[in-house]
Each structure stands twice: as C-alpha cells, then as structure tokens.
Amino acid sequence: MANVSNVTRLRETPAHTAVEVSNLNHVYEGREGKVAALEDISLTIEAGRFVVIVGPSGCGKTSLLMMLAGLRRQTSGTILCAGRPIVDPDPERVGVVFQEASLFPWLSALDNVEFPMALRKAPKDERRRRADEMLNLVGLQGFGGRYPHELSGGMKQRVSIARGLVQDPPVLLMDEPFAALDEQTRMTMGHELLRIWSQTNKTVVFITHSLTEAVYLADEVLVMSARPGRIIDRIPITLPRPRNYEMMASDVFGRLRDRIWQQIRTTP
C-alpha cells in the first residue's frame, strides 16, 4: 500500500513542478540586426512557491514573462506548465498582471474581473459570483461598480490581481505590478499580495526592480545578468512566514538584500 502510493507519487512528480523552462533562448530581429535577449535559461519552479526575478534594466525579464504567458514565442527551448508546453496564452493555467493599468477603462471593476470568463462565454451568474468572490479576496468589496478612473492606483492593481485570478490558474505572473505606485501604497500592496497568495496557494512569478520588495515577498530570488539575460544566481530567502514589516530592519534581511545587490552590480 505504502509502496503503491510511493510509486504514484514519483510518477506524479511533474505535477509538483509548476513551471519548467529548459534551455530557453531568445533573439530579437530588430532593425539594427539581431539582439540576443535571453541565453540558455533553465529553471524549475515548484508549485506554490513565490519566485521573484530581478536583474538590470533591459536584461529580458519582461521578455521571459511574456514567453511564460504564451504571449511571445521563444526562439528555442521549451516551457512546460502543469506538464504541458505553453504555446498560446492559456488563462486557465497562467494568469498575468501587468505593470501599467491594463484594465479596460470602459468596463466597471466587476466587468473587468469578469472579462476573461466572458470571453469563455461562462454563464452570467457564475461569472458574477466568481468575480464578486475575487473582489472580496483582494479587499475591494463594494467597489465593483466603479470605473477604473474612479479607483486609485493601488485599487486598480487589486482589480488586475482579481482579474488574473478569476479563472483560478495555478500560476500567476506579475511584471512589476507595483512599480507605478508610491512607496507606501507599494508596501501595503506587497503585504496584501502575500495575504492573497497564502489564501490561494498560487505559484507566483514576480518581477521587480525593488530589492526590498524582492526579499520581502520571495521564497526564492532569481538574479539575471545584463543582456543577453542569463540566470546567474538563485537565492533562497529563509525569512520565516508570515512576513512582517519588522523583518525589514533585521540583519538577515539586510544581508540578503546586499547579496542580491552585489550580484546585480557586478553583472557584466
């Protein structure tokens, strides 16, 4: 009995790997010739982990995320999500939250959250129920009727998160989601994201330029080199959870942040 279950466990191992990238390369063919953006990226992200990617500007973080989302095709290499290759956007496997307000200004917050389900022609009441649930999750109960221009920057990003989660994808990709927010809102949002994450058991891939944000949020920080982007370090963040603001003042926090900074600074 124990043996049997062991065997099944072993065969199911890929299911515990949320995202697997192998030997991924990407070359842009621009006007000034070819630009190697990503070089030989291989990484495995376990299910339920919070992974943060940092790296110098222009190193290919957004490009990598677009490929994980199926929005752009890599030049070579494979990306597996839930054991199957990503070739096209699949909102049931991967949800995406972008930096800028990518909400549709002509739709209310609720309709924005419903949008992915509406594309799939889900029944109206199911859509409504699910969208309401998501707005509650992100702390926006009662704001569903507002249009994006009636929401603050932080609230807009909450709606974006709700929209990314509405189809319950196991993986959530976030490209500098809080970069446009002020410092205070940003801290609050980071903390809120951790709460949402712990309530939903998603795998999160999060891109940021803020080292503090990286250490505060991550289970693991991946550091990329300048272009062509490669993964040059993989730093486990050992801080206990739940995280709190006091940890930012701790020695461990400072050392981790310094280590990441050293890596980025010395990248060729």
Ligand X SMILES: Nc1ncnc2c1ncn2[C@@H]1O[C@H](COP(=O)(O)OP(=O)(O)OP(=O)(O)O)[C@@H](O)[C@H]1O
Binding interface with ligand X (CB under 6 A): 28, 30, 35, 37, 55, 57-63, 227
Nearest residue to ligand X on Cβ basis:
62
Q: At closest approach, how far in Å is the CB of 105 from ligand X?
A: 23
- Which residues, listed in sequence order, are joined to residue 220 by a DSSP beta bridge? 51, 236
Could you tell me which stretch among 7-15, 41-49, 86-94, 226-234 binds other proteins (CB under 8 A)?
86-94
Sheet arrangement for strand 76-81: 33-46, 17-30, 76-81, 84-85
Q: Does 102 contact Mg ion by CB under 5 A? A: no
- Pair of tokens at residue 171: 């993986």
CB of 134 to Mg ion, least distance (A): 26
Residue 57 half-sphere exposure toward CB, CA atoms < 13 A: 1
Is-contact 157 178, C-beta < 8 A? yes
Of 98 and 206, CB closest to other proteins: 98
Q: How far is the CB of 267 from ligand X (least distance, A)?
A: 12
Instruction: List CB contacts of 91: < 8 A, sequence separation 6 or more.
Output: 116, 167, 169
Of 167, 108, 96, 97, the residue nearest 134 (C-alpha): 167
Beta carbon of residue 122, minimum distance to ligand X (angstroms, whole number):
33
Cis before 228? omega within 30: yes
Judged by CB under 8 A, does residue 163 bind other proteins?
yes
Report the interface residues with Mg ion, using CB under 5 A: 62
Where do contacts with other proteins occur on this chain (CB under 8 A)?
69-71, 88-91, 94, 96, 98, 100, 102-108, 115-116, 118-120, 138-140, 147, 149-150, 152, 154-155, 158, 163, 181, 184-185, 188-189, 192
